[in-house]
Amino acid sequence: MKIAFIGDIVGRPAREIIQKHLHKLQVDYSIDYTIANYENASHGFGLTEKNCKELLDSGIDMMTGGNHSFDKKEIINMFDKYPLIRPINYPTITAGKGILITKISNKDVAIINLMGHYTMPMADNPFTKIIEVVEELEAKNIKRIIIDIHAESSAEKRTLLYMLKDRVSAILGTHTHIGTDDLEIVDGCCYVTDVGLTGCRDNVIGMKSDTPIQRVLTGFGGHLDVPDKCKTILQMIIFELDENGRAIHTQKIKLYENDEKVVTPTYILHPK
């Protein structure tokens, strides 16, 4: 099976480039299932129901969240209606769920949203929590496990890789909006520290640059806004899993607003 993962969707420019190109990419690369991170999809903060429907209609099958999952309060009533999850290490009484178990190519696949610790909202320890969850999935003989690790710290993401590389299929980093060049397969686990944003690329993490500049010069911040016009990029990881749920191939697609496309192959470390 071939699965695609789109990193942080930032505002309307991101939604538009996805709407324009995703269906064709799915055909060109024989993609069976598409996952995306929604937490910045509605003007940079959270997700509205209107934008949720728009993204699902564009070809996305399910979406993960992060520290901005609840910025739009209407999402509380959306978890039971749409294929959305939020970080699994939020308190158990928090609305929504942190895991989706679905069928892809007639095989059980578990998709988990996990939030890091450093600079993030108060939540359960992500490392002890994920061990509990993986053990529960293993007890059910679910071999295909995909994790969106939404974290600021690259060290936390790498630590997760070496904790779980023999037990999960893919660990895909989100949150920083800055794509990293370390896409690899380690012992059958597809890994990248950060997929990178989809949205505006000619500013600061998908937002207008005036407020970040003001903050670093004066110490005073302000509201971050997604530009109305910008140069855009769609960043997507595609990975293929074998019958045992191990990653055997992966590549990164970077598609720009002028239709230029860059495809980055993977480096396989210690293939099994």
* 49-57 and 11-28 helices, crossing angle to 10°: 20
* Per-residue pLDDT at 24: 97
Q: Is 117 tagged catalytic? A: no
Q: What's the pLDDT band for 117 if we cut at 50, 70, 90?
A: very high
Which of 92, 95, 186, 241 has its CA nearest to residue 84? 95
Q: What's domain 2-201+229-269's superfamily in CATH?
A: Metallo-dependent phosphatases (3.60.21.10)
Per residue in 219-237, pLDDT (tens digit) is 988 889 999 899 999 999 9
What's the CA gap between 249 and 190, in Å, rounded? 8
Where do the structural domains in the chain lie, given as residue ranges?
2-201+229-269
- Please identify which of the residues 21, 23, 43, 68 carries the catalytic annotation: 68
Q: What's the pLDDT band for 114 if we cut at 50, 70, 90?
A: very high
- What value does the mean pLDDT take over residues 74-84? 97
Per residue in 48-72, pLDDT (tens digit) is 999 999 999 999 999 999 999 999 9
* Per-residue pLDDT at 271: 55
Q: How many CB atoms lie within 10 A of CB 70?
A: 20
Question: Is pLDDT at 83 greater than 90 in this prediction?
Answer: yes
- What share of the chain has pLDDT > 70, as a percent? 98
* Per-residue pLDDT at 143: 95
